[in-house]
Amino acid sequence: MASPFRPTALPDWAWERADVRQALRSRDMGAMFRYVQQYSGASQARIATAVGMTQARVNEIINRRREVSRLDVYERIADGLNMPDDARHLLGLAASGEKHPGGAAFDLAAFPEVVRVYSAQASAQQEIQEQARTAKELDILAVRGLGLIGLNDSMLRTHLMRQADDFRLRVLLLDPEAPALAARAAEIGESAESLASGVRLTEARLRELAGTCDVQVYRYGMLPTWRLIRTDSTLFVGAFDAGWEGHESATYKVMETPHGPLFRGFRRMFEAVVRTAERTV
């Protein structure tokens, strides 16, 4: 019997199975652990030792009570399961021998960042809420943010009302005084006064949270294009357009990967907006 203190592995043929490859593409570690049990006979304790987790955590992931989202955890799982390079690529990781980006060109399709596409924000709501519940950092770029954080029944409001010194919330809202707000109001068939009032209401409600965690609220002045929700190393991205509001857009789940430009690009954009915005809370 293999020692429980050494990495475990699936047989070579298992990595070629369609179900295993689909679990890797979708970063479904619960399914992946179940396949490890099924195709290698490893116990939960054996998997836990191999990937540097507790057995309880492995059990939670298998039973979908917890989701893996951090890049370093994916790396640890890949190492602990002795994943071959093509399996690592499906998971969005560099090959085991690739330590640094750059050099020879590589196929971006082998480094997927967009791991899931939802038809609208409502379809992604449960996953966004689960991510926000345990996130250390939450960044939001919205127009007025009422549906996200401004009302008691907003999607993320209850997950922000937690006493936590190590939790940081940053919110970018459209400046009620900016010409871009009037332009956006016209695009969605609403009065500028109504839209501006919604922004101010969200600011006031966020001010109420200032004593519970590190809350930072900013006003930006450009016509909004992207709607962002970042929970640590995961982004949920939608688009604003004349034909729809951000929550009606398709929502893309984008994860940080070693070589991917999307996560880093959107985060860079968010930081640039913060630097030029006016802080109000």
Look at residue 176 and tell me if it is in a domain. Answer: yes
CB half-sphere exposure, 73, CA atoms < 13 A = 17
**Mean pLDDT lowest for which of 9-13, 45-49, 128-132?**
9-13
pLDDT in tens, 180-223: 999 999 998 899 999 999 999 999 999 988 877 789 999 999 99
* Residue 232 · residue 74 · CB < 8 Å: no
Look at residue 238 and tell me if it is in a domain. Answer: yes
246 φ/ψ angles, rounded to the nearest 5 degrees: -60, -40
In the predicted model, is pLDDT for residue 45 greater than 80?
yes
Q: What is the pLDDT of residue 201?
A: 95
For residues 89 and 121, membership in a common domain is answered with no
In the predicted model, is pLDDT for residue 166 greater than 70?
yes
For residues 180 and 264, membership in a common domain is answered with yes
CATH number at residue 39: 1.10.260
For residues 138 and 191, membership in a common domain is answered with yes
Tokens representing residue 253 in the block? 């789940």
Q: Give the count of domains, the chain.
A: 2
For residues 190 and 130, membership in a common domain is answered with yes
CA distances from 208 to 66, 215, 281 (A): 30, 10, 10
Look at residue 131 and tell me if it is in a domain. Answer: yes
Look at residue 109 and tell me if it is in a domain. Answer: no
Q: What mean pLDDT is predicted for residues 102-116? A: 54
Q: Examine the fold and report which residue of 32, 61, 93 is the final residue of a domain before the chain moves on.
A: 93
Q: What is the pLDDT of residue 55?
A: 92
CATH number at residue 131: 3.30.870.10
CA–CA dist 176, 80 (Å, integer): 51
176 is in which domain, residue-wise? 114-279
